[in-house]
Amino acid sequence: MTTPVRVRFAPSPTGALHIGGAHTALFNWLWARHSGGSFVLRVEDTDRERSTTEYEKTIIEGMRWLGLDWDEGPYTGGDHGPYRQSERQEIYHRYAEQLVAEGKAYREGPAVIYRVPRGERITVEDKVYGDIDFESDTLKDIVLIKSDGSPTYNYAVVVDDYTMNITYVIRGEDHVLNTPKQILLYRALDWRLPVFAHLPMILGPDKKKLSKRHGATSVYEYRDMGYLPDAIFNFLALLGWSPGGEREIFTRDEIAERFELSRIAKRPAVFDTKKLDAINQEHLKGLPRFERLEMVKPFWEKMGLPLEGKNEEHLADGLELMEGRGRTLPELAAYSDYFLDFGVVTERYSGEDIDEEQREEIRPFFAELLQLEEWSAQAMEDFARTWAREHGVKLKRIAMPMRWALTGRKVSPGIFNLAEHFGREETRRRLAHYDLV
């Protein structure tokens, strides 16, 4: 029988959940879900000065937003909390004592330090990078317990990963140099090693390590910019991993199904905002209509548009007409503002480019249009084509002012679809404002 896969995400609550952290969490989650294993969340809050519960909360919120649920942890009423290193102090001291008793570690005041043996070869058998060799002679002794009594990262992580039965340690490649130290501690404690897999670094478009200089780095910034969690999930999964083939749009389940550690790339991944936008747009298109409506609403609200008393069904229909326009939620919200309020149309467009001559020419068309027996896009379009032909007028000469009057925009969904959606009276009102009927 193979040992069940157990992975963990071990954030330090010293900042928000940033893209790199979310990427690591996601890959662990995927490996757990792919293999039917368990995903553990462990908050590494031993650095008491820099750790805050506020950051812990935002990290957890970010994970929830991305749908990265973990499988166990202390029960906190209805839910599993994360494990916290600060609640495990006693365990770290116990094993440190053991190493001192065995003569493998020594004290320096209240601190406990591991004596690195000389002349040992340490090979990190990395799932992604292959074998990486180190010599123990290049390493200094390793502090286990600091003089304030708290454990160091390299020590606590070993005690935790072993006692929590972690079988795969999947983390950023910035930890590669820590791994030989951790392997020495596993050896000293006579513990079996987990499998190590280091993930490629994420770079900005300028090929430098992704950082604040490149713009938004925390997951919440992306949420607030109107990206969908499923799109961020999809995008992050493709940073340094690929299922092979050209396809780029996947659901969570499809990714989990295809996920393999052997397909993780060694080469650093470049964070490409254009690609993120494209992926987001596809996920936005694929949303069920009412879900899309619920997600757009806060952005309409932020724009100060009136939502109260609006018919949900009708609004959702309006968004359907947008047919996938808009890469992000605020973009879609902005493109569709005229569904909520005619005021934004009149503010944007004063009728400046329709001259009197054109008005005279097309007014009869609109007068007849508003009398059409059947108020449907198809009937309107048929009528418009016939009218334009009979009067020797280009269809565009009618459609453009109509588009401006209904939307205040140069680009919009099909103008007769919009008219059908608005209904006869609202269409009349908007045309009348621009003196077209």
Q: Which residues are catalytic?
A: 212
- Between CA 318 and CA 183 the distance in angstroms is 59
197 vs 315 by CB, closer to ligand GLU: 197
- CB of residue 14 to ligand GLU, shortest distance in Å: 8
Residue numbers 168-197 binding ligand GLU by CB under 6 A: 171, 175
Our finding on whether 226 is near ligand GLU (CB under 6 A) is no
Residue numbers 124-163 binding ligand GLU by CB under 6 A: 157
Beta bridge partners of 6: 38
The H-assigned helical ranges of 218-311 are 219-224, 229-237, 252-258, 273-286, 289-302
- CB of residue 16 to ligand GLU, shortest distance in Å: 13
264 vs 284 by CB, closer to ligand GLU: 264
- Between CA 354 and CA 231 the distance in angstroms is 42
Tokens of 50: 């820099």
Our finding on whether 10 is near ligand GLU (CB under 6 A) is yes
Tokens of 68: 């990265």
- CB of residue 205 to ligand GLU, shortest distance in Å: 24
DSSP letter at 9 equals E
| Contacts with ligand GLU, 33-72, as mask; x by CB under 6 A | -----------x----------------------------
- Scanning 8-16, 55-63, 196-204, 216-224 for contacts with ligand GLU by CB under 6 A, the matching segment is 8-16
Measuring CA to CA, how many Å separate 262 from each of 40, 89, 176, 253, 275? 22, 36, 18, 19, 24
- Scanning 7-15, 216-224, 303-311, 402-410 for contacts with ligand GLU by CB under 6 A, the matching segment is 7-15
Burial 187-223 (b: 16+ CB within 10 A, else e): ebeeeebbebbbbbbbbbeeeeebeeebebbbbeebb
241 in helix, strand or coil? strand
- Scanning 4-12, 289-297, 346-354, 395-403 for contacts with ligand GLU by CB under 6 A, the matching segment is 4-12
Measuring CA to CA, how many Å separate 424 from each of 78, 91, 167, 395, 432? 52, 74, 66, 20, 12
Site of tokens 């317990």: 145
List the one residue out of 96, 137, 142 whose CA is nearest residue 118. 137
End-to-end CA distance of the chain: 79
122 vs 157 by CB, closer to ligand GLU: 157
14 vs 346 by CB, closer to ligand GLU: 14
- CB of residue 44 to ligand GLU, shortest distance in Å: 4
Contact with ligand GLU (CB under 6 A): which of 5, 6, 11, 116?
Answer: 11
- Scanning 5-13, 220-228, 369-377, 397-405 for contacts with ligand GLU by CB under 6 A, the matching segment is 5-13
40 vs 315 by CB, closer to ligand GLU: 40
- CB of residue 169 to ligand GLU, shortest distance in Å: 6
- CB of residue 254 to ligand GLU, shortest distance in Å: 27
| Contacts with ligand GLU, 271-290, as mask; x by CB under 6 A | --------------------
- CB of residue 413 to ligand GLU, shortest distance in Å: 46
List the one residue out of 214, 210, 281 whose CA is nearest residue 239. 210
- Between CA 96 and CA 31 the distance in angstroms is 32
Where does this chain bind ligand GLU (CB under 6 A)? 10-12, 44, 157, 171, 175
